[in-house]
Amino acid sequence: MLHTLVLEIACTGLAPGLAPGLAKVGLLGFDPPMSDRPSTPPVSGPEKGAGLILQLARNLSEGPGVYRMIGRIAASGDGEADTEPQVLYVGKAKNLKKRVLSYTQPGRLSPRIQRMVAATEEMEFVTTHTESEALLLEANLIKQLSPRYNILLRDDKSFPEILVESGHAFPRILKHRGARKAKGTYFGPFASVWAVNETLAFLQRAFLLRTCSDSVFEGRTRPCLLYQIKRCAGPCVGRISEPEYAALVDQSSAFLGGKSQQLQKQLASQMQDASDAKAFEAAALLRDRIRALTRIQSHQDINPGTVVEADVVALFMDGEGGRGRASVQVFFIRGGRNFGNRAYYPTQAAGETPEVVLEAFLGQFYANHPPPREVLVSHRPSESALLTEILTQRAGRKVRLSQPTRGDRAGLVRHALENAKSALVRKRAEAQAQEKMLEGLSEALGLETTPERIEVYDNSHISGTKAVGAMIVAGPEGFRKNAYRKFNIKSDIAPGDDYAMMREVLSRRFTRALKAAAKEGHQPGDWPDLVLIDGGKGQLGVVEAVFAELGITDVALAAISKGPDRNAGREQIHQPGASAPLVLDHRDPVLYFLQRIRDEAHRFAIGSHRARRKGAIRRSSLDDIPGIGAKRKKALLHHFGSASAVEDAGLSDLATVDGISSHTAQRIYDWFHNAS
């Protein structure tokens, strides 16, 4: 007897505009009653999974939709899978029934897909109105669920941009990252913050636009240092008129928008006119501006040629097994200039064609990044027409997706492809070295398996104030910075009690993980194989006690301390149950590896503590008073000069401040004088 359960899948927020139908979830794997069991031997492997899929596919819609394959994966080697069910794969289809039926013929599937089918125990389906909706939903589900058998884009950070603000008489130019909430014109993306900073420095020389905040701008009574070194036009003190400044803003926007040649010709003409009029100082300023623009234009890694706005996406696959099989290089061409490049290494690409890998990459990459007018690719995606439609929808204008074969565009793709190949060679070498380090660490600590996820913990504080706990993560791919976490110490702990801080950090981290595991029915994906503590036997004992309270027995523990005289190279490694600490040779590469990850945890902890302390310094005692917002706080500070003067002010003095009523003055007075 086959049991199925029909559920409505909530897709709100996964993809805009989706109106999915009902998802039929087959809860397969239930054993039939003994009387109903066949006398023939049970079917196992891909044939069993294919049979289960066939049962579900019979009643599927032939319209577009998204499907999820769910099952268990063996923890290691062959044999029965002992993990809880997890999403194995997310796919989309123009014809849902036809696509799912293709999995019922194992002989035509690759070994990787055969393993996936063999592990499948359940499936979930969502019908959509159009194929483009299915593609959007697929990309969102892959990002949310990170299925084992999907091609995954790990790095999903936003790119820095340059913002020319609007809504001010003298707009400023500044670096921006994140959501485009501020009013103004955005230029980018740039591949790195370094590229943005360099471009801003050049633009300051060329156009003299201000970079200071509005509060600093309004409070200036004399020009700042940037004006003295000719990096700002001095609008804060009237050294330039509003129309003249607006002309500089227009010129900078034109340059960033790709109209550099026309702008240079215009400036050259103005310089000549100024020279003819014997206005040599004005001519010199225009000359310096032209030089700065020329320097920006000449600083190019590749020559975009006739390409004005495009992303160049090139994929290289080495054809060998193991991690890092595929490398994708993305070059950003904006305004006819190269804004830099970034490398990506999609996972789960083994056994797939370059066209399929590139299609998966583009779908996930442009889920969060605005597409340019043109996307140049090294391989034409299998669903290029559909991708073009999706990119056009996201951009709100026509987007062209093409695989050039000649001219400037083909040259850009070839250059990006060479970079992708070089990046993959470096990545494989780094991965092999990292694997060797992890194997050496496993041998040194006597671990049963090579750790895939190492969590390192450290604390940072000054006499117990603004204490912060930090967790960094390392694995075969190196440091996983998107998995770093910081913990602001919340408990009332005695100053300098490192043991209590470590107890709170570990308790919060693993209590939360265990609750998530109980809710989801399986161990979370961020469960560590090894926990490393920056400390000695005392800190290790604290972690042992926390794990004993929580019933955690499947995580290896170790602590690393500086050793005698706190000399680097004489570190001691403490392990539970060991009679004496382990001391590695000072030239052992494993010791260097431990020092590196320990130091990274220390760096992250100190940085988090400094950020918290800096935030506390910026806060005023007025920030905590209920009903006192930014305007009233500004009025109080302008009137009294400092927060301490507000604290000492009398009730009648408070009531004389603009915007402060007698009722509000009483509230402020009571707040500082503890009146009931």
Could you report the per-residue pLDDT of 209-254, keeping only the tens digit for each?
888 888 888 888 888 888 888 888 889 988 889 888 888 888 888 7
pLDDT score, position 397: 87
DSSP state of 622: G
Predicted local confidence at residue 79, as pLDDT: 41
In this prediction, residue 516 has a pLDDT band, given cuts at 50, 70 and 90, of confident
Give the pLDDT score at 247.
Answer: 86
DSSP letters for 42-106: PP-THHHHHHHHHHHHTT--SS-EEEEEEE---SSSSS---SPPEEEEEEEESSHHHHHHGGG-G
Which CATH number fits the domain 310-427, given the four candidates 2.120.10.30, 3.40.50.1100, 3.40.50.10320, 3.30.420.340? 3.30.420.340
Q: How confident is the model at residue 7 (pLDDT cuts 50, 70, 90)?
A: very low
Please identify which residue in the block is written with the tokens 């590229």.
195
Give the CATH architecture of domain 621-673.
Orthogonal Bundle (1.10)
Predicted pLDDT at 315: 92
Q: Which CATH class is domain 454-616?
A: alpha beta
Could you report the per-residue pLDDT of 555-595, keeping only the tens digit for each? Answer: 999 999 886 666 666 788 999 988 888 988 888 889 989 98
C-beta pairs of 428-437 under 8 Å, 24+ apart in sequence: 428/318, 428/322, 428/323, 428/324, 430/478, 431/322, 431/323, 431/324, 431/476, 431/477, 434/476, 434/477, 434/478, 435/476, 436/589, 437/589, 437/590, 437/593
HEC string for 410-469: HHHHHHHHHHHHHHHHHHHHHHHHHHHHHHHHHHHHCCCCCCCCEEEEEEEEECCEEEEE
Which stretches of 189-256 are DSSP H helices? 193-207, 214-219, 225-228, 242-256
- Give the model's pLDDT for residue 15: 40
Give the range among 22-31, 301-310, 643-652 with minimum mean pLDDT: 22-31
132 pLDDT above the threshold of 80: no
27-61 confidence digits (pLDDT tens): 333 333 333 434 334 445 667 778 888 888 877 88
Residue 28: predicted pLDDT: 32
The ranges of the chain annotated as CATH 3.30.420.340 are: 310-427, 454-616
Instruction: Report CA-CA distances (Å) from 196 to 65, 162, 605.
Output: 41, 7, 27
Considering only CA atoms, which of 23, 30, 16, 44 is closest in space to residue 137? 16
CATH dotted code for 5-145: 3.40.1440.10
Express as a percent the part of the chain with pLDDT over 90. 11
Q: How confident is the model at residue 427 (pLDDT cuts 50, 70, 90)?
A: confident
**Strand ranges for 477-578 from DSSP E:** 478-479, 485-488, 530-534, 556-561, 572-574
Locate CATH 1.10.150.20 in the chain: 621-673
What pLDDT is stored for residue 6 in this prediction?
32
pLDDT reported for residue 46: 65
Residue 240 to residue 648: CA distance in whole angstroms:
42
Q: Where in the chain is the domain with CATH 3.40.1440.10?
A: 5-145
Q: From CA 596, how far away is CA 89, in angstroms rounded?
A: 36
The one-character DSSP state at 379 is: S
More confident residue, 489 or 458: 458
Bigger pLDDT: 328 or 157? 328
Q: What is the mean pLDDT of residues 356-378?
A: 87
For the segment 407-416, the average pLDDT, to the nearest whole number, is 88
Number of H-type helices and E-type strands within the chain: 20, 20
Q: Which two tokens stand for residue 30?
A: 């239930």
SS3 336: coil
Name the pLDDT band for 149 (thresholds 50, 70, 90). confident
Instruction: Please give the average per-residue pLDDT across 117-134, as a whole number.
Output: 83
pLDDT value for 364: 84
Peptide bond into 370 cis (omega under 30): no
What pLDDT shows up at residue 18?
40
Specify whether the CB–CB gap between 339 and 368 falls below 8 A. Answer: no
Task: Specify the higher pLDDT residue, 123 or 59.
Answer: 123
Q: How confident is the model at residue 658 (pLDDT cuts 50, 70, 90)?
A: confident
